Structure 1
Amino acid sequence: MKTDSIFYRLFLEIPGVYFQLIGKSPTLANSYKFRSVEIKQTAFRLDGVLVPNIQSPDTPIHFAEVQMQKDEAFYRRFFGEIFLYLSQYEEAKYWQALVVFRNRNIEPKDTQPYQALLNSSNVTVVYLEDLGEEAYDNLGLGIVKLIVEDEAKAVQQAKMLSAKATTELAQEAEQQKVLELVKTVILYKFQNLGPEEVIEMLGMEDFKKSRLYQGIKQEGREEGRQEGTLLTKLRVVPMFLELGLTIEEIAQRLDLTVEQVQQASQSQSN
């Protein structure tokens, strides 16, 4: 399951989750803006950087990286990216980093070159396997745990998070952010399901009233059966893009070519 885009959206939409994972107040997110940063003249890209809105000695820059698969070169690359960033952005004086591993088994074994950094207060390492059921008491942490939840429990917990968002978040825009993140996680976990099946599974019937969903259904009714199947798939592309899937992932899910998905994406933009 590819989760980089999910975590990027999660930190972007609910940046307080980052600070909760390092044991600090989520209100600190109000002082930061989240972005993905490409380091010049290299192939490195930092998945998540929280940059202070106002530079001061008390507001360090934060780097976040999520690792879900085994990679013995991870620490070498991650710390290399951080120090390249510091060399190119002179305004960054203080920094902290968060590393999120799916479990302890995928953490690199050879940490000796970076042990001083890992032992310092600059770096926090979190293992998702350590998140207990209490994580679901918080919407942001609950979505993080949902990513690594067993499929047998995932749907039930997703429904719970959806209901929690509806009852606890007063603003509809905030509710939709959480609901879309929950739907995205379920789509990733159940690759054989389409968006309509996920909506029904999670009981998100209100989504069927949206203009996007109605447009998809209308196209399916108006076109012939064979041609309509292709057009319906192409009309689903914007939904998957909104949920954070890549062009390649959408092509694989819908049994389309990358070129078809790109054309559908460009048509939607136009």
Structure 2
Amino acid sequence: MHRDSLFYQLFAQLPQTLFDLLGIQTPQGYRFDSVELKQTAFRIDGVFLPPDPSGTVYFCEVQFQRDTTFYERFFAEIFLYLRLYRQTFSDWQAVVIYPDRQAEQTSFEPYDVLVESDRLRRVYLNELGSPEELPLSLALMQLMVVPESDMPRVARLLAQRSQSEKAPKPEVIIELITTMVLYQFTELSREEVLRMLGFTTEELKRTRFYQEIYAEAQEEGLQRGLRQGLEQGLQQGLQQGLQQGLQQGLQQGETLVVLRQLRRRFGDLPADLEEGIRQLSPHQIEALAEALLDFTDLGQVSAWLERSP
């Protein structure tokens, strides 16, 4: 995933981020969109559309690589949009987001008048300030350019701020932080990132990541249990078979959640260890689900199974 995509996810989920960046009060009703100008195959990736024709349309581009013809393309797209959709707005503003000044092209001619005008706002993320002092939306944006060595600390800080400051859409913010860290640390799993952010076991269970895995495993287990139950129902009676199938499906779903979590952390499981987990009672599976996130190797899992009554 490119950094541009991360920025546009942030804008789509939290459109007030642009207005925090500009230092103005967030207007109501703005909609973020990507607009294709079909006549020329141009595409403006970031357009903030006003709710009515009396508003201002904002064009936003994220530019992380130096492009000697960037402003030529950007202004060409803007003016074509203005020509095609003039009836939908009363004014316009452009914003370009750079990681630092070195990413910007050095020669602006013949667009220097526009570049230096109030129509364009150039933002350099490394000059915004510290993540402790910035609004949360801007600190999220800056997370994409912090040094790799600082990213775990800053990511934990922002995760904590999303909870303590009662931010809007905290689950969206956590998901964005997790995605940004995964982009930087490709060798980590999503679960490991969430743990790195300081989530407790109970908090981890409330994340979308855990719930998606749990729902997937529950569905798989339920379907398997239903199939077994239906087969037994043909022999013992349909009603009894369906009830048993549902019970088995729910239990197998819990077991599959635990097995899937262990595979994500430690890779393939020894056959005897997996079989031992499949033989656990529902109460034992619940206890193992609570304990597994504290394990650091498969030896601890085996020791837990040996101790389990």
TM-score class normalised by the smaller sequence = 0.7 to 0.9
For the 8 Å contact 1:162–1:182, the answer to whether it is kept is: yes
- Give the AA of the match of 1:65: E
- Give the AA of the match of 1:176: E
1:117-169: CA deviation from partner (whole Å, max 9, x where unpaired): 11211110011121211565421011011110111111111111111111222
Q: Which residue of 2 aligns with 1:78?
A: 74
For the 8 Å contact 1:136–1:161, the answer to whether it is kept is: no
Does 2:150 match 1:153?
Answer: yes
- Kindly state the Cα deviation for residue 211 of structure 1 after the two structures are TM-superposed: 2.2
Q: Unmatched 5+ residue regions in structure 1? A: 231-270
- Give the AA of the match of 2:67: D
Distance 2:259 2:39 in 1: 51
In the TM superposition, what are the counterparts of 1:18-167 in structure 2 within 5 Å?
18-25=18-25, 27-28=26-27, 30-56=28-54, 59-91=55-87, 92-133=89-130, 136-167=133-164
1:198-229: CA deviation from partner (whole Å, max 9, x where unpaired): 1121123423454213236927838xx9xxx7
Q: Which residue of 1 aligns with 2:204?
A: 207
1:91-123: CA deviation from partner (whole Å, max 9, x where unpaired): 134110100111111101120211111121111
Distance 1:118 1:128 in 2: 18
Distance 1:124 1:155, change over 3 A: same
Percent identity of paired positions between Structure 1 and Structure 2: 39
Distance 2:164 2:258 in 1: 34
Distance 1:119 1:137 in 2: 26
Number of residue pairs matched by the alignment: 219
Q: CA RMSD in A?
A: 2.3
Distance 1:219 1:44, change over 3 A: farther
1:160-208: CA deviation from partner (whole Å, max 9, x where unpaired): 111111122266xx11011111111111111222212211211234234
- Kindly state the Cα deviation for residue 42 of structure 1 after the two structures are TM-superposed: 2.3
1:243-266: CA deviation from partner (whole Å, max 9, x where unpaired): xxxxxxxxxxxxxxxxxxxxxxxx
Q: Which residue of 2 aligns with 1:221?
A: 259
For the 8 Å contact 1:50–1:61, the answer to whether it is kept is: yes
Q: Unmatched 5+ residue regions in structure 2? A: 218-254, 269-309
Correspondence for 1:175 among 161, 166, 170: 170
After TM superposition, where is structure 1 displaced by more than 6 Å over at least 4 residues in a row?
A: none
- Kindly state the Cα deviation for residue 84 of structure 1 after the two structures are TM-superposed: 1.2
Which segment is superposed worse, 135-144 or 204-213?
Answer: 204-213
Normalising by structure 1, we get a TM-score of 0.74
For the 8 Å contact 1:183–1:199, the answer to whether it is kept is: yes
Distance 1:89 1:197 in 2: 47
Distance 2:83 2:5 in 1: 27
SS in 2 for 1:49: strand
For the 8 Å contact 1:135–1:145, the answer to whether it is kept is: no
Distance 1:219 1:31 in 2: 41
Distance 2:110 2:132 in 1: 33
Q: Which one has a bigger Cα radius of gyration?
A: 2
Distance 1:157 1:3 in 2: 18
SS in 1 for 2:143: helix
Distance 1:208 1:144, change over 3 A: same
Distance 1:201 1:40, change over 3 A: same
Distance 1:134 1:187, change over 3 A: closer
Distance 2:134 2:23 in 1: 16
SS in 2 for 1:112: coil
Distance 1:146 1:170 in 2: 17
- Give the AA of the match of 2:35: V
